[in-house]
Structure 1
Amino acid sequence: MSAAQYEKFETLLDCLDHWASVQPNKVYFTQPFSAEKTVDYTWAQVADQVNRMAAYLQSLNLPEKTHIGILGKNSAHWIMADLAIWRAGHVSIPLYPTLNAETAEYVLDNSDAKMIFIGKMDELWRVVEKGIPLDMPTITLPLAPQLKHAKQWDAIVAATAPTTKPVKRNKDEMATMLYTSGSTGKPKGVMISFNAMISALRGTSQVMSFNSTDRMISYLPLAHAAERAILETGSLFYGFHVYFSFGLDSFIQDLQRARPTLFFSVPRLWTKFYNGICGKIPLGVQHIIFRIPVLSGLFKKFLLKKLGLAEVRMALSGSAPLAPALMSWYRNLGLDLLEGYAMSENFAYSHCSLPGKVRVGYVGNTYPGVECKISEVGEVLVKSPCNMMGYYKNPELTAESYTEDGFLKTGDMGEIDAQGRLKITGRVKELFKTSKGKYIAPVPIENRLNGHELIEAVCVTGPSFSQPFALVMLPLEEHKKLEQNPGEASHVESEMTELLAHVNGQLEAHERLSCIVVVKDIWSMENGFLTPTMKIKRNVIEANYLPKAEGWVALKKPVVIES
């Protein structure tokens, strides 16, 4: 389809109807029901199930635009539930499956959700279960936990005829509410209109070559703006095939089944993939092979195949800055890795590196229709057709989030080069002051540390100390080696000491790190150190480690391994 043909789509429901009409028998979803068994759903079958569930929701005579929650890991029926909620005239409220009970209860209450769809949860259900009111009407999707009080999707679909009165949605209505991942404070409900969703897709169609023959795998949370904007809405708009991952244990198998042509990931996972390769084939060995003309091309293809990315023609990274060293490593392999930048508040539509215009360390140019400028204090400001309708039930915060001329205050610090490409240099609120009165922006320093094969995550901190320092988490395999073999500590110390000297040599005097502390904890979503999109929760990390920091710094050692 040409860009002009996409103009007839006013909402994503129009997209569903279009593809169900023009390619009814083409597979839309491939859903694993176990590590071995998968089920395909064609566009016609998806539309049929959506229309049957919409009819059931209409039969409940809920008030117009009722808020309905969706809680679960990614699945074909997660997206079907989203579409059914819209088709019945209501608003979807996605919840991260990794939420604890307290936060889930808060989101459901704050959003005024009146019922909920619950999908695949596995081990996460016991963590969140108590946060779901027992008296809340509930529908369970396939693969969901067995709940006595809930109605089941399959039973409803089997017993209900497709709706004969689908609700025509106005493009300016609220379609969904995205709750921010809560890296600081309580999650906020970001109101997104149907127009914001479709405008993002119309814009990307002008600069990106997605089409109905593409394949993607869904494994990052659908409750997050990026996965929603790139995979869910992208597949609806362009009509491409979506594969789902059954879980971490079968991810490589799922990836090889999907053979994606488009692949989206976040820095934490790009780092894990990189560390996995470097753990088996050291960087020194790689560099030698890369210099051998006959072997270099074959070796790079081998590595991409090993990662399951051999057929990827476009790869995207977002959610947090990707270390330039990692970006260069992937691009050297032949992977067209592009970095993007956006927020929940503009439905992941702001900036992206475009093919042929990549500058490593920069997140690229604005998408069509987006304006960007840097404020007097260095904050990135954006105006976009996809900007949120506001924060739910919080008009004061909404007003504070915009400039007088309608630009969204991103909270990020940045700079723009001569070709209009944006570089993110840190967060306004993450700046901290040392005891010498000097301000430190931690993100650029973290990006210099990231990319080392012994670092999976890092947090630079040190408010009120004379110099900043870095808290480093090792990759899981290296962490196990350190626990099982005390002699491994000398290797870690040597590598980190060399890295510290290298990084400090690139920093201003007031930015130089006093030490690197290798922490003994594994930071995860479950223990609260990471957000659902795998960004570090700086406030949680600092609250946990800063009380111990005085003792570490007093040792005056370049590397401290927490015991």
Structure 2
Amino acid sequence: MTQVAPELLALQRLYHWEKTDPKRVALTQPMGAGAVQDFTWAEVADQVRRMAAHLQSQGWEPGSKVAILSKNCAWWMMSDLAIWMAGHVSVPLYPTLAPETVRQILTHSEAKACFIGKLDGWEGMKPGVPADMPCISYALSPLDAIKSYEGWEAICGRTPPLQGEPTRRADEIATLIYTSGTTGLPKGVMHSFGNFAWAIDAGLKRIPLSGDDRMLSYLPLAHVVERMLVEHGWLRTGMHIFFAESLDTFAADLQRARPTVFFSVPRLWVKFQQGVHAKMPPAKLNRLLGIPILGGIVRRKVMKALGLDQCKFAAGGAAPMPMALLQWYSQLGLNINEGYGMTENLALSHITEPGKNQQGTVGPTYDGVQHRIDPDTGEVQMRSQALMQGYYKEPEKSRESFTEDGWLKTGDKGTIDKQGLLRITGRVKDLFKTGKGKYVAPAPIEDKLVMHEAVEACVVTGANLGQPLGIVMLNADTAARVVNDAAARTELEASLASHLKAINATLDPHEQLQCIVVVTTAWTVDNDIITPTFKVKRNRIEDLYARYYDTWESSGKRVIWQKD
């Protein structure tokens, strides 16, 4: 059982800030048209107490499930706290899910109610919410939701705040985090209050968070990393959280927050790099960075333009970070720490150590975490006091996720060096065998392929083919430029062919790519090709493109344009 001091549990941290620093701004929420709304700790606690009193008045059994379907905002975090204070279990949903998935999660979790918050695609998701489910809207909810459901402000306005300091035990379930896995239906990962408290305690020994820090919350709070680092980091340290308004305002949101700690997934780190290169070609940037004094000025200018000039700790995760990308940011003076974890261990597994060159690995374990490699399969296995309590209503799958002696099976392949640094080499189930009988690990090749400036995302595949294939999706700017410009397309084709040649020169013969296939369909959450954390669903790629593999392979072309 997870052992933590009671005063470190989530609700106790809210009471602590409510008493010791009530007037300090805790949350800053954009309200549109450049306006923002600040919430002090006193205001956060007051609204949480009022909503908790409302939830308690519904007469549900203690430990009932209450869902949150919203993009990140101040009310998301206050809803989570109110659910806990009322004695219940929160069930966050990604704000981009298909209606069938929304219904599956709400039904499977037996949710009693749902907060319907800030959403871009509510009309598409609405059919997934049972018509008889009680729902509550936020100030930033879609107009239809505001008209259909009673609002947060109205409920808080008529409900007296819950008194005292209601507590939850460390061993009580706090939340069900439904996985956004690349295969199969989502599973509800059960985590306790003690899990969270132990994990943030261990995390803060490696990640330097304090009450003076600022973070921008923009990756889904339904995802385990944002939940841990932002929400529970905020509760533990009292730091100031800013929220992003939209993709269109993201640059301005970053400038407003000037985060001192910043986490992003590889795909977005690549986008930032491509944005810099769009304004200054790579060759020119490299030349300027190599000039004494001027190089320092250029670095500061680039980092300020990104909104990261105050960033003291940067991290990446959720998917492998290409080595070339890490080195590019290091040139700019921003060393990105690469982390590794999963929903089942609260993302608290490994992270590189600040100030040490551990690029190419995900670093050593956090304090209190143990790791090992299965000698038969090469699978990474780990254990700690942050391991899940199991999958909700899935005892068999829960058992399958652990070894007989209690270690979590991660599903990832890796190696551990003499310094205790873990290197992820691929997924146990992602390996495929070519027609020559040779196994190929796609992840390391994808790390190289995605580094072309025109590539947004990619997949390496080719089970039973003579050689693997690389399938790429172009970024939006490049796709728009080449669609009706033959010259631009010819230039890009030559560049991709050169990129392919350079990649193959670094690979063993059986790994070398037969060709690069450029697809015209954007890979999005809406068409179910990527997860909400930007991981490509390999099974969907097979569904969409496998019928073309033989044709691509026999074409003899190095770059192929596939019209879908």
2:204 is paired with a residue whose SS is helix
Structure 2 CA distance for aligned equivalents of residues 312 and 9 of structure 1: 30
- 2:270 matched to which residue of 1? 271
Match of 1:57 among 48, 55, 62: 55
Structure 1 CA distance for aligned equivalents of residues 7 and 484 of structure 2: 58
Tell me the alpha carbon deviations over residues 199-246 of structure 1, each in whole angstroms, 9 at most, x when there is no partner. 011112223321001000111000010110111111111110000011
Q: Which runs of 5+ in 2 are unaligned?
A: none
- 1:48 matched to which residue of 2? 46
Structure 2 CA distance for aligned equivalents of residues 438 and 209 of structure 1: 44
- 2:474 matched to which residue of 1? 474
1:456 is paired with a residue whose SS is strand
Question: After the TM superposition, which residues 67-82 of structure 1 pair with which residues of structure 2 at under 5 Å, given as runs?
Answer: 67-82=65-80
Structure 2 CA distance for aligned equivalents of residues 357 and 202 of structure 1: 22
Is 1:556 aligned with 2:556? yes
Tell me the alpha carbon deviations over residues 22-74 of structure 1, each in whole angstroms, 9 at most, x when there is no partner. 11111000001104110000011001100111111111111111100000110
8 Å Cα contact 2:112/2:134 also seen in 1: yes
Deviation of residue 484 (structure 1)? 2.9
Deviation of residue 404 (structure 1)? 1.3
Deviation of residue 457 (structure 1)? 0.7
Deviation of residue 167 (structure 1)? 3.2
- 1:291 matched to which residue of 2? 290
Deviation of residue 398 (structure 1)? 0.6
Question: After the TM superposition, which residues 306-385 of structure 1 pair with which residues of structure 2 at under 5 Å, given as runs?
Answer: 306-376=305-375, 377-385=377-385
8 Å Cα contact 1:529/1:541 also seen in 2: yes
Deviation of residue 166 (structure 1)? 4.7
- 2:231 matched to which residue of 1? 232
- 1:409 matched to which residue of 2? 409
1:430 is paired with a residue whose SS is coil
Structure 2 CA distance for aligned equivalents of residues 205 and 127 of structure 1: 39
Is 1:134 aligned with 2:131? yes
Question: After the TM superposition, which residues 94-109 of structure 1 pair with which residues of structure 2 at under 5 Å, given as runs?
Answer: 94-109=92-107
Tell me the alpha carbon deviations over residues 245-282 of structure 1, each in whole angstroms, 9 at most, x when there is no partner. 11011111111111111111101111111111112211
TM-score (norm 2): 0.97
1:363 is paired with a residue whose SS is coil
- 1:3 matched to which residue of 2? none
Instruction: Report the residue type matching 1:321 in the other structure.
Output: P
- 1:511 matched to which residue of 2? 511
Structure 1 CA distance for aligned equivalents of residues 6 and 304 of structure 2: 39
Structure 1 CA distance for aligned equivalents of residues 349 and 41 of structure 2: 30
8 Å Cα contact 2:15/2:165 also seen in 1: no
TM-score (norm 1): 0.97
Deviation of residue 7 (structure 1)? 4.8
Structure 2 CA distance for aligned equivalents of residues 553 and 528 of structure 1: 26
Structure 2 CA distance for aligned equivalents of residues 282 and 424 of structure 1: 32
The verdict on how the C-alpha distance between 1:305 and 1:281 changes in structure 2, with shifts beyond 3 A counting, is same
2:429 is paired with a residue whose SS is helix
Structure 2 CA distance for aligned equivalents of residues 519 and 207 of structure 1: 41
8 Å Cα contact 1:260/1:312 also seen in 2: yes
Instruction: Report the residue type matching 1:97 in the other structure.
Output: P
Deviation of residue 451 (structure 1)? 2.1
2:32 is paired with a residue whose SS is coil
8 Å Cα contact 1:67/1:113 also seen in 2: yes
8 Å Cα contact 2:517/2:561 also seen in 1: yes
8 Å Cα contact 1:9/1:198 also seen in 2: no
Deviation of residue 348 (structure 1)? 1.0
Of the structure 1 ranges 338-347 and 144-153, higher mean CA displacement relative to structure 2 is found in: 144-153
Of the structure 1 ranges 148-157 and 381-390, higher mean CA displacement relative to structure 2 is found in: 148-157
Deviation of residue 358 (structure 1)? 3.4
Deviation of residue 387 (structure 1)? 0.4
Deviation of residue 431 (structure 1)? 0.8
- 2:440 matched to which residue of 1? 440
Deviation of residue 416 (structure 1)? 1.1
- 2:484 matched to which residue of 1? 484
Instruction: Report the residue type matching 1:19 in the other structure.
Output: W
Structure 1 CA distance for aligned equivalents of residues 127 and 73 of structure 2: 23
Structure 2 CA distance for aligned equivalents of residues 558 and 482 of structure 1: 18
Instruction: Report the residue type matching 1:153 in the other structure.
Output: W
8 Å Cα contact 2:65/2:89 also seen in 1: yes
Number of aligned positions between the proteins: 557
8 Å Cα contact 1:88/1:166 also seen in 2: no
Structure 2 CA distance for aligned equivalents of residues 21 and 484 of structure 1: 62
Tell me the alpha carbon deviations over residues 423-458 of structure 1, each in whole angstroms, 9 at most, x when there is no partner. 111001111111111111110110122222122111
Instruction: Report the residue type matching 1:212 in the other structure.
Output: G
8 Å Cα contact 2:448/2:503 also seen in 1: yes
Of the structure 1 ranges 520-529 and 462-471, higher mean CA displacement relative to structure 2 is found in: 520-529
Deviation of residue 149 (structure 1)? 4.3
**What is the aligned-residue RMSD (CA, Å)?**
1.2
Deviation of residue 357 (structure 1)? 2.6
8 Å Cα contact 2:12/2:167 also seen in 1: no
Instruction: Report the residue type matching 1:355 in the other structure.
Output: P
1:331 is paired with a residue whose SS is helix
- 2:386 matched to which residue of 1? 386
Deviation of residue 144 (structure 1)? 1.0
1:385 is paired with a residue whose SS is coil
8 Å Cα contact 1:268/1:535 also seen in 2: no
Structure 2 CA distance for aligned equivalents of residues 289 and 320 of structure 1: 31
8 Å Cα contact 1:138/1:150 also seen in 2: yes
| Identical residues among aligned pairs (%) | 47
Structure 2 CA distance for aligned equivalents of residues 407 and 438 of structure 1: 30
Deviation of residue 182 (structure 1)? 3.0
Structure 2 CA distance for aligned equivalents of residues 284 and 546 of structure 1: 38
8 Å Cα contact 2:28/2:242 also seen in 1: yes
Match of 1:83 among 81, 84, 96: 81
Structure 1 CA distance for aligned equivalents of residues 483 and 33 of structure 2: 31
Instruction: Report the residue type matching 1:139 in the other structure.
Output: I
Of the structure 1 ranges 291-300 and 65-74, higher mean CA displacement relative to structure 2 is found in: 291-300
Structure 2 CA distance for aligned equivalents of residues 8 and 58 of structure 1: 23
1:142 is paired with a residue whose SS is coil
